[in-house]
Amino acid sequence: EAGVAQSPRYKIIEKRQSVAFWCNPISGHATLYWYQQILGQGPKLLIQFQNNGVVDDSQLPKDRFSAERLKGVDSTLKIQPAKLEDSAVYLCASSLGGLSNTEAFFGQGTRLTVV
């Protein structure tokens, strides 16, 4: 089966510019996650969707980050304006979710460099 697709793979922007990342989860997966991974650290959850509703966005810097999953399938994550410290890999993951514990499948990520 097709995996989690993310684009672009790499992005370089100047600080104060805006950027958007796109994620297409595995077909049928109700749960979608966005993670931020700074070099040398483990991934940190930014936001979790169940279908098109937000389950957890407690660690999302809402003054500059936003995410949406309008039709409960694809999702976009936006940063506006970007700061130097936003340089990281942004990972999207999806899982079936629900009553049984299921694994989350991760995309390859988008590597963002803010200069």
Partner 1 sequence: DAKTTQPTSMDCAEGRAANLPCNHSTISGNEYVYWYRQIHSQGPQYIIHGLKNNETNEMASLIITEDRKSSTLILPHATLRDTAVYYCIVRERDTGTASKLTFGTGTRLQVTL
Nearer to partner 1, 81 or 104 (CB): 104
Least Cβ distance, residue 81 to partner 1 (angstroms):
27
Measured on CA atoms in the order 90, 94, 100, 101, is the torsion positive or negative?
negative
Tell me, what amino acid is at 4? Answer: V
Least Cβ distance, residue 74 to partner 1 (angstroms):
17
Nearer to partner 1, 81 or 89 (CB): 89
Binding stretches for partner 1 (CB under 8 A): 4, 30-31, 33, 35, 40-45, 48, 50, 55-56, 91, 93, 95-109
Nearer to partner 1, 14 or 98 (CB): 98
Would you call 84 exposed, middle or buried from its count of C-beta atoms within 10 A (0-12, 13-18, 19+)?
A: exposed
Least Cβ distance, residue 24 to partner 1 (angstroms):
14
What's the token pair of residue 46? 């930014």
How far, in whole angstroms, is CA 65 from its chain's centroid? 11
Nearer to partner 1, 16 or 44 (CB): 44
Residue closest to 77 by CA, chosen among 15, 16, 7, 22: 22
